[in-house]
Amino acid sequence: MGAAAVVAEAVRVAGLEKSYRGRPAVRGIDLSVHEGEIYGLIGPDGAGKSTLLKAIAGVLRFDAGEIDVLGTRIDSDRAAERIKPRIGFLPQGLGLSLYPELSIEENIDFFARLRLVGKPELAERKERLLAMTRLAAFRDRPMKHLSGGMKQKLGLICTLIHEPELVILDEPTTGVDPVSRRDFWAILSRLLRERHATAIVSTAYMDEASRFHRLSLVYDGKEVAAGDPERIREKRPGSLVVIDTARQADAVARLRPRFAQVDPQGATVRLFAEGLLPAEAGAAVAAALEGLPATVADAGEADLEDVFVSLLREGAPAPPAAPAPPHTPPARETRFAIEAIDLTRDFGGFRAVDHVSFSVPPGEIFGLLGANGAGKTTVIKMLTGILPPTGGRGQVAGHDMRHAAGAIKRRIGYVSQAFSLYQDLSVVENLRLFAAIYGLSRAEASDREAWALDLGGLRGHERDLAGSLPMGLRQRLALGCALVHAPEVLFLDEPTSGVDPIGRRRFWELLFRLSREDRVAILVTTHYMSEAEQCDRLALLFAGRLVADATPKALKREVAETEGLPVEMHVDRPLDALEALAARGFPEAALFGPHVRVLSKDPDGDMERLPRLLAEAGVTVHLAERRSLSMEDVFVHRVRALEETGGGRGEGA
């Protein structure tokens, strides 16, 4: 056998250092990106991803280290300028690089002129890219009226219009729904293959790790692990176990002395059994729970997030248990803490919410899911009294939302999508301000302030300005402010976007305790499908209408019975495999890096049949495996089925 082929480097980073006002943002990171691959940077807000990408793109000076991009050493402003025509850079933020008043086509034309793209080339590229992204029908729509998914597709077109050799995308899918995210990855992979380009993509979504050929996990400015997803998973071998039990708190108490990662999740408990094979993990869990009414529902391969959390926790002390709230008043005697009855909201001639009805009893965590623009935030704003409904009615904490807005606001907590705190006030000043707004006495405010500090792990940060806190602490402070008056109902609108995995898990454990121990009703929206699993019940909004309302288990069972279970294949030519599967009756085939996943009504038979079908298309299947159905699979299938049957307003509405 001859010598292994040398893989050319598109980007090389060695010992990169960058600080802002003495605070390190990147600490000695090394990186090597091969030509033609999609390389991932995965980590929470504040991990250093944006700083690293800006330095590679030549738009940010760094303090120490070396960066080579496409064979050029970036050691001066002149060198950075020489390389920029060969790079496409999409900065972080939904549509922030676009012009709101310009239409889709006008934005594309503007960026093409900036990049000196000739008219003949522009005409051909524009039509091809608009068709591929399914934006051609909306070319005259102003950018400000696009959904989040459409904004990111337009941003991608404007980034690629000059056909760069290197594409740098900073969190392009943050705040984008799962359907648009799958579309985005398929489009990016196809474009890169056609143009033989390379991409570096950052994300805070751990479940996107499988989209990359190789990746780096970054945290606090340092690289925690690097390699292909399977190689990183091997750093912490273990199994994921899901337990069905009605006595979650007892099960968690039994399991935590034995396992480091144990998390309540909806009507189940989820744990990572480090170092154990699935059969061994299932047996160990069953032994630990002997005598409890509990069943091991599933034991299989661990998620990469479990590995990341394990690596982050190495050598770190376990966070203290959340404290019990002081002097919590009993909840009002009511069957439902939240009730929406035919809620409708129009904005001019546009119907954002269309006769939505659901109810949430005390002590339930209720998830409201939907694509960007589905109406989730509008529903919350009506229920909290921020927006009046056009039609319908609702009750919150026993009060009619149309006539008792003041009474409702005293009984609810609300954490919005945007940062809802006062950035120029300290942690304790924010807590005291919210306590005063809600009319707490000095003694009550003191007790609740101490509880909120312990709840959020904020001791030691009392005098820090809220705007200077890491995202995880910031969100826990926002939760503490929303809970300072002991509300009966809690509304959370995408509360953990950008929060690190450990912070998100701690946040959700707090929600679990609030719901189970204090009977707080919680309504939450999220684009993290792993968080949807933690809800007791889920409602799916599509084009302003409620199209599903059931437990996560029931929603999965329905899709499994009608569409089957996932079969995942590791292939040598993923895009060719995707096209071949679509042509052979699998239109929902999805791309996950070198893997392709389909829903199969006969998974055992298809694991034998599909490799033969793909071989006819010139695609080699290295491995075919059955996978468990995820909430992302359910969400994407339900939304795409509705789109195909004309069940809504169309994309971006």
Domain boundary among 553, 575, 604: 553
If you average pLDDT over residues 603-615, what whole number do you get? 93
- The token pair that represents 56 in the structure block: 């590679």
Residue 645 lies in a domain: no
**Contact residues for 342 (Cβ-Cβ < 8 A; gap 6+):** 355, 356, 357, 391, 392, 393
Residue 98 lies in a domain: yes
Same domain? For 257 and 360 the reply is: no
pLDDT of residue 593 exceeding 80, the answer is no
DSSP string, 13-47: EEEEEEEETTEEEEEEEEEEEETT-EEEEE--TTS
Q: What is the pLDDT of residues 468-507, one digit of tens each?
A: 887 667 888 888 898 888 889 999 988 877 677 777 888 8
Same domain? For 441 and 589 the reply is: no
Please tell me the distance from the alpha carbon of residue 513 to that of residue 260, in angstroms, as a whole number. 19
What total number of domains does the chain contain? 4
Q: Residue 454 maps to which CATH number? A: 3.40.50.300
SS (H, E, C) 279-294: HHHHHHHHHHCCCCCE
Residue 640 lies in a domain: no
Q: Is 537 exposed, middle or buried (0-12, 13-18, 19+ CB in 10 A)?
A: buried
Same domain? For 92 and 145 the reply is: yes
Domain boundary among 230, 255, 280: 230
Same domain? For 193 and 241 the reply is: no
Same domain? For 490 and 448 the reply is: yes
Same domain? For 162 and 43 the reply is: yes
Which residues in 512-649 belong to E strands, given as ranges?
Answer: 521-525, 537-542, 545-550, 565-571, 590-592, 595-600, 621-626
Residue 149 lies in a domain: yes
Residue 316 lies in a domain: no
CB 336, CB 237: distance < 8 Å? no
Residue 71 lies in a domain: yes
Give the CA distances from residue 392 to residues 213, 345, 355, 358, in Å, rounded to whole numbers and listed in that order: 50, 9, 7, 12
- Residue 417: the pLDDT is 66
Q: What is the pLDDT of residues 367-395, one digit of tens each?
A: 998 877 788 889 998 998 888 999 999 99
Same domain? For 517 and 620 the reply is: no
Residue 307 lies in a domain: no
pLDDT of residue 50 exceeding 60, the answer is yes
Binned at pLDDT 50, 70 and 90, residue 328 comes out as low
pTM comes to 0.83
Domain boundary among 230, 251, 266: 230
For residue 571, what are the domain limits? 565-628
Please tell me the distance from the alpha carbon of residue 475 to that of residue 220, in angstroms, as a whole number. 17
Please tell me the distance from the alpha carbon of residue 428 to that of residue 425, in angstroms, as a whole number. 8
Same domain? For 527 and 593 the reply is: no
Q: Residue 575 maps to which CATH number? A: 3.30.70.790
Average pLDDT of the chain? 87
- Residue 2: the pLDDT is 44
Residue 652 lies in a domain: no
Same domain? For 271 and 187 the reply is: no
Same domain? For 221 and 76 the reply is: yes
Please tell me the distance from the alpha carbon of residue 315 to that of residue 209, in angstroms, as a whole number. 24
Same domain? For 277 and 137 the reply is: no
**Contact residues for 142 (Cβ-Cβ < 8 A; gap 6+):** 100, 101, 102, 103
For 309, the 3-state DSSP assignment is: helix
Q: Residue 260 maps to which CATH number? A: 3.30.70
Same domain? For 256 and 113 the reply is: no
Please tell me the distance from the alpha carbon of residue 445 to that of residue 425, in angstroms, as a whole number. 17
